[in-house]
Chains A and B, each alone.
Chain A
Amino acid sequence: MDELDLLKKDWNSENPEFKSYSDSDIYPMLYKKSFSIVKTLFYISIAELIFWLLASILPYFLSSTFKEKLETSYENPLFLGVNIFSYLVIFMFIYLLYKSYKTISSTDSAKKLMESILKTRKVIKYYVVFNLTIIFLSIPLSFYFEYNENLEFHKQIVEFSTNQMLVLYAFVVLVAGVFLILLWLFYRLIYGVLLKRLNKNYEELKKLEV
């Protein structure tokens, strides 16, 4: 007799070792806290949105010199363009996130469900990549603005020798690079831990289709 058939015989007999829940046991369960991966992902994406929004808005309210500087920067069409573009992108991401969360359904097949979750995670990933790119670009860009607007800074830079300029550039790129790598590793860690099991199971299902 097949091993599984033996198991089947036992499986379908009544299992007295399970605690049978009554109606009054089940009612409170409906309103308990969920430990769902989708919920965690949702909170992470909300936190991302809030974090990057605050990061761009807060300095404006906290520092008056920054506020002044920013207001003069807005006269520059390039700066204004980048800003408008980044807000448009944020709204686009909110829409995309909303759309992909809507497609996650626990009544889909296992594979489809995993795919929708991974797709949502991808949207969040692209948002992160977008923000990191903006940061990376904003470093040389702010350098350029300072150079144009800040006379003292301009004077200092003009006096720099070629070698000094090279060192300065290298330093800026290095700082930006290290900052980005650290942030990237941080994200990899969060999603790596959160989605490790899901990725493993998804790979297992995909392997079957080859």
Chain B
Amino acid sequence: MNKELEHSFVELLQKHQNIVHKVCRLYTNNADAHNDLFQEITIQLWRAYPKFRGDSKFSTWMYRVGLNTAITLYRKSKRRINTQEFDAVEFKIKAEEYDDTEEQQLKLLYKAVHQLNDIEKALVFLYLEDKSYREISATLGISEVNARVKMNRVKKKLKTILNP
């Protein structure tokens, strides 16, 4: 690969790295796993970069590769991003823990989102990133109607997790 390409890629990634961090935040539950996934997404982005034509925004393109890596490509290595273990612990959120203060509420919300499955997390991620249902459906490969239906179900599921 030529140096110029490498340079432009690193510059773009550096600028938009928050997107990758956000994906890692949803799909991992500790700093080591976060860094491992960040590393893998970077490799996948770099590999796909020569084909990046610039006809889509770099950030939009990153959502796709980032989510695909987290959901499908990444083989959890030595450190696992095992949501199963996480769930077992986090399922103990009790109703009385539900504090009105916003910070507490946010903490519980993040915990609740961590309990969703990989696909549901992807929907939440794209929703939080303010993506249209058209973009969500194109990123996941499902129809727009189904993306909408599923999103509503995810919202309901989150409510149930928070208010068991």
Interface residue ranges, A against B (CB under 8 Å): 2-4, 6-8, 10-12, 15, 18, 20-23, 26-27, 29-30, 32, 34-38, 40, 105-114, 117, 194, 197-198, 200-201, 204-205, 208-209
A4-B128, A208-B119 known; 14 other A-B pairs, CB under 8 Å? A6-B106, A11-B128, A15-B25, A27-B6, A29-B42, A32-B39, A35-B40, A106-B44, A106-B68, A107-B48, A110-B122, A110-B140, A113-B73, A201-B117
Instruction: Find the A residue at minimum CB distance from B161.
Output: A3
Contact B72 A113 (CB under 8 A): yes
Contact A26 B118 (CB under 8 A): no
> Mask for B63-87, Cβ within 8 A of A = 1, else 0?
0110111011111110000000000
Interface of A is mostly: helix
Contact B159 A205 (CB under 8 A): no
Instruction: Find the B residue at minimum CB distance from A10.
Output: B106
User: Which residues of A lie under 8 Å from residue B77 when comparing CB positions?
Assistant: 35
Contact B142 A32 (CB under 8 A): no
- A2-B155, A27-B10, A35-B75 are contacts. A208–B150 as well, Cβ < 8 Å? yes
**Considering the chains assembled together, what is the distance between the CA atoms of A110 and B122 in angstroms?**
10
Count the B residues whose beta carbon is within 8 Å of the partner chain — how many?
65
Interface residue ranges, B against A (CB under 8 Å): 6, 9-11, 13-14, 17-18, 21-22, 25, 36, 38-40, 42-44, 46-48, 51-52, 61, 64-65, 67-69, 71-77, 102, 105-106, 109-110, 112-113, 117-119, 122, 124, 127-130, 138-143, 146, 149-150, 155, 158-159, 162
Contact B43 A201 (CB under 8 A): no
8 tightest Cβ-Cβ pairs between the two chains A and B: A111-B141, A109-B141, A18-B21, A35-B77, A11-B128, A29-B42, A204-B119, A208-B146
Contact A113 B68 (CB under 8 A): yes
What distance in Å separates the Cβ of A20 from its nearest Cβ neighbour in chain B?
7
**Considering the chains assembled together, what is the distance between the CA atoms of A112 and B142 in angstroms?**
10
What distance in Å separates the Cβ of A3 from its nearest Cβ neighbour in chain B?
6
Contact A6 B102 (CB under 8 A): yes
- A18-B18, A26-B13 are contacts. A34–B118 as well, Cβ < 8 Å? no
Partner of A107, one of B36, B64, B150, B158: B64
- A2-B155, A4-B155, A6-B102 are contacts. A26–B10 as well, Cβ < 8 Å? yes
Contact B65 A109 (CB under 8 A): no
What distance in Å separates the Cβ of A195 from its nearest Cβ neighbour in chain B?
10
Instruction: Find the A residue at minimum CB distance from B106.
Output: A10
**Considering the chains assembled together, what is the distance between the CA atoms of A208 and B139 in angstroms?**
14
- A7-B128, A23-B14 are contacts. A34–B43 as well, Cβ < 8 Å? yes
User: Which residues of B lie under 8 Å from residue A4 when comparing CB positions?
Assistant: 124, 127-128, 155, 158
What distance in Å separates the Cβ of A26 from its nearest Cβ neighbour in chain B?
5
Instruction: Find the B residue at minimum CB distance from A114.
Output: B72
Contact A8 B128 (CB under 8 A): yes
Partner of A198, one of B6, B72, B105: B72
**Considering the chains assembled together, what is the distance between the CA atoms of A40 and B13 in angstroms?**
26
- A3-B109, A23-B11 are contacts. A106–B73 as well, Cβ < 8 Å? yes
